[in-house]
């Protein structure tokens, strides 16, 4: 197996066998992006790995992605997936070691896009509006729970089981990292949980987000992942409508409540390590990615204060 397509598909199959469908999807997307590039340059050639993993090809692929006007984080994701494939191929003895192969292409994460709501908007979003249509009211309850349950990811909220909620505490294992997380449920959150609880005895879920009488699939299966993706897309669509209905200044997505919780904690001087543990992150570095834009804000304000102070001193 010396061609990139076969090798990548074998990695995808391995990931799907381990029920890591999200990661497998990203590998597939990266492969399609590279295949598109390769077709423009070598339409008749197989994608041999010895031709892929050379600095000139990697850099040319990056230029191809830039010409397609992709967002910087999307470009970086494709290159990081290609780097991951290179490391796997290297470990399997299917590629030669090339020092600094990805050193001249962008594999970072752009963090200047703000996803958090201002505190006033978040407070407004937590006040459940009785005038909303039932569908949007349910959406607002789900969104509020994401914040009230310590910035819980939607993937975890949707998959909470009835047995995860005991004695006022929700204990669950994060879908993304596998870390065990326990959250004390406040009275406000408990009331919202009650309002959107799934009372059907044949449903394992705590909330009425994923259960479908006609298409139940075991947690972790491909069908369950695909069903969740449909629910997620619908949730994000309704969040846009909710933002408009509530007159919020910022945009809403399934990530907004989590980012808002983290940045609010940061602004109220909570230690980064505590924020990291609260969010169930795999490391403090992940949390720092969330907080980087707001650290820059603090630095910019500090810079203005210093400049103003120096200017005042010159007039003394």
For residues 26 and 135, state if they share a domain. no
For residues 15 and 52, state if they share a domain. yes
Q: Which residues are 315's β-sheet partners?
A: none
Show which of 255, 271, 305 is a domain's final residue.
Answer: 255
Q: Which pLDDT does position 219 carry in this prediction? A: 75
CATH of residue 159:
1.10.443
Q: Does any domain span residue 221?
A: yes
What kind and span of H or E run contains 10? helix 4-17
Show which of 217, 239, 255 is a domain's final residue.
Answer: 255
Q: Does any domain span residue 279?
A: no
Dihedral (CA of 182, 186, 187, 192) sign: negative
For residues 167 and 207, state if they share a domain. yes
Q: Answer whether 0.85 is exceeded by the pTM.
A: no
Q: Which pLDDT does position 79 carry in this prediction? A: 97
Per-position pLDDT tens, the chain of length 316:
589 999 999 999 999 998 889 999 999 999 999 999 999 999 989 999 999 999 999 999 999 999 999 999 999 999 999 999 999 999 999 999 999 999 999 998 766 556 789 999 999 999 998 899 999 999 999 999 999 999 999 999 999 999 999 999 999 999 888 889 999 999 999 999 999 999 988 889 999 999 876 566 777 788 889 999 999 999 999 999 999 999 998 889 999 999 999 889 988 888 888 888 888 887 888 787 767 766 677 778 888 888 888 888 876 6
**Long-range CB pairs of 301-307, under 8 A, 24+ apart, other chains included:** none
Put the strands of the sheet holding 180-184 in their side by side order: 165-166, 169-173, 180-184
For residues 249 and 126, state if they share a domain. yes
Q: Does any domain span residue 66?
A: yes
Q: Does any domain span residue 129?
A: yes
Rama region for 251: left / alpha / beta (φ>0; ψ in -120 to 50; rest):
beta
Tell the residue number behind the tokens 């290297």, with chain if given. Answer: 90
Q: Does any domain span residue 181?
A: yes
* Distance, CA of 129 to CA of 150 (rounded, Å): 22
Q: Which pLDDT does position 277 carry in this prediction? A: 87
For residues 165 and 225, state if they share a domain. yes
End-to-end Cα, the chain, rounded Å: 75
Dihedral (CA of 212, 217, 222, 224) sign: positive
Do residues 190 and 207 touch, judged by C-beta distance below 8 A?
no
Which domain, by its residues, includes 19?
4-91
> Number of structural domains, the chain?
2
For residues 47 and 126, state if they share a domain. no
Q: Which pLDDT does position 105 carry in this prediction? A: 96
For residues 220 and 184, state if they share a domain. yes
Q: Which pLDDT does position 158 carry in this prediction? A: 96
User: ∠253-277-281 over CA atoms, to 5°?
Assistant: 55
CATH of residue 10:
1.10.150
- As given in the structure block, the two tokens for residue 19 are 């029920």
């Amino acid at each position: 197996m010396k061609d990139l397509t076969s090798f990548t598909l074998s990695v995808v199959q391995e990931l799907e066998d381990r029920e890591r469908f999200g990661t497998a999807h990203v590998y597939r997307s990266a492969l399609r992006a590279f295949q598109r590039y390769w077709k423009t340059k070598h339409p008749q050639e197989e994608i041999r790995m010895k031709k892929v993993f050379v600095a000139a090809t990697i850099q040319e692929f990056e230029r191809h992605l830039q010409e397609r006007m992709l967002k910087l984080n999307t470009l970086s994701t494709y290159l990081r997936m290609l780097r991951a494939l290179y490391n796997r191929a290297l470990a399997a003895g299917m590629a030669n070691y090339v020092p600094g192969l990805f050193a001249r292409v962008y594999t970072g994460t752009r963090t200047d896009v703000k996803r958090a709501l201002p505190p006033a908007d978040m407070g407004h979003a937590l006040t459940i509006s009785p005038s909303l249509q039932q569908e949007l009211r349910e959406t607002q309850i789900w969104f509020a729970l994401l914040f009230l349950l310590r910035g819980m990811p939607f993937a975890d909220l949707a998959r909470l089981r009835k047995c995860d909620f005991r004695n006022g505490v929700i204990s669950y294992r994060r879908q993304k990292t596998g870390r065990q997380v326990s959250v004390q449920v406040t009275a406000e959150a408990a009331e919202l949980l009650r309002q959107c609880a799934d009372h059907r005895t044949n449903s394992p879920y705590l909330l009425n987000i994923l259960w479908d009488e006609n298409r139940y699939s075991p947690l972790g299966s491909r069908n369950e992942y695909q069903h969740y993706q449909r629910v997620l897309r619908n949730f994000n669509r309704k969040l846009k409508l909710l933002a408009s209905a509530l007159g919020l200044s910022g945009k809403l997505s399934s990530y907004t409540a989590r980012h808002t919780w983290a940045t609010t904690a940061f602004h109220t001087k909570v230690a980064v390590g505590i924020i990291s543990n609260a969010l169930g992150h795999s490391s403090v570095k992940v949390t720092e990615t969330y907080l980087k834009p707001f650290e820059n804000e603090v630095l910019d304000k500090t810079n203005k204060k210093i400049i103003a102070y120096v200017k005042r001193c010159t007039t003394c």
